[in-house]
């Protein structure tokens, strides 16, 4: 399953708010699961853990070991900003994803310098998970 499909579903979920949003979110996730069943049922269990923000069942005790402080430092480094600046932006925006988007806009990439305009194959869910 193309990861862009899942990303689009997550974007739709992010836009859900107010009365009836829980039913809408359930429908979006159910549609993603239906597509997984129809196209590649082997992805279904991984997709389930992805949507509940887990790497595996609890009994496997898998953790990323990545905490909020490490993520903040990574975002700062990736966006070319200080940790303090990222924390300040986080206070203003309230969402680290928004902070990354803002930081990304001002970030120059080296890919363009090295001819990064080449088309790459779209990522699949299994490649991401």
pLDDT tens-digit map of 35-66: 888 888 788 878 887 887 776 677 777 665 66
28 within some domain = yes
Q: 14 and 45: one domain?
A: yes
Highest mean pLDDT out of 28-37, 55-64, 107-116: 28-37
Same-domain check for residues 32 and 75: no
Question: Higher model confidence: residue 118 or residue 8?
Answer: 8
Collect all residues with Cβ–Cβ distance below 8 Å to 36 and sequence separation of at least 6.
1, 43, 44, 47
Per-residue exposure over 82-94, b if at least 16 CB sit within 10 Å of its own CB, e if not: eeeebeebbeeee
pLDDT at 122 over 50: yes
Q: Which domain holds residue 74?
A: 68-105
Q: Considering the domain boundaries, does residue 117 fall inside one?
A: no
> Is position 110 within any domain?
no
Q: Tell me if 113 is assigned to some domain.
A: no
- Contacts of range 80-87, beta carbons closer than 8 Å, 24 or more positions apart: 80/106, 80/107
| Inside any domain, residue 43 | yes
Same-domain status, 52 and 77: no
Overall average pLDDT of the 25-41 stretch: 87
In a shared domain, residues 52 and 11: yes
Residues 56 and 74 placed together within one structural domain of the fold: no
Residue 124's closest CA among 34, 3, 42?
Answer: 3
Residues 10 and 48 in one domain: yes
């Amino acid at each position: 399953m193309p990861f862009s499909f899942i990303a689009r579903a997550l974007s739709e979920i992010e836009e859900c708010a107010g009365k009836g949003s829980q039913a809408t979110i359930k429908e979006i996730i159910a549609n993603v699961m239906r597509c997984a069943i129809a196209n590649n049922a082997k992805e279904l269990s991984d997709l389930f853990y992805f949507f509940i923000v887990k790497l595996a069942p609890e009994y496997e005790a898998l953790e990323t070991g990545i905490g909020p402080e490490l993520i903040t430092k990574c975002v700062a480094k990736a966006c070319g900003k200080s940790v303090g600046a990222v924390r300040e932006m986080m206070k203003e925006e309230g969402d680290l994803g928004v902070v990354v988007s803002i930081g990304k806009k001002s970030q120059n990439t080296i890919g363009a310098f090295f001819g990064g305009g080449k088309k790459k194959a779209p990522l699949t869910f299994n490649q991401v998970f």
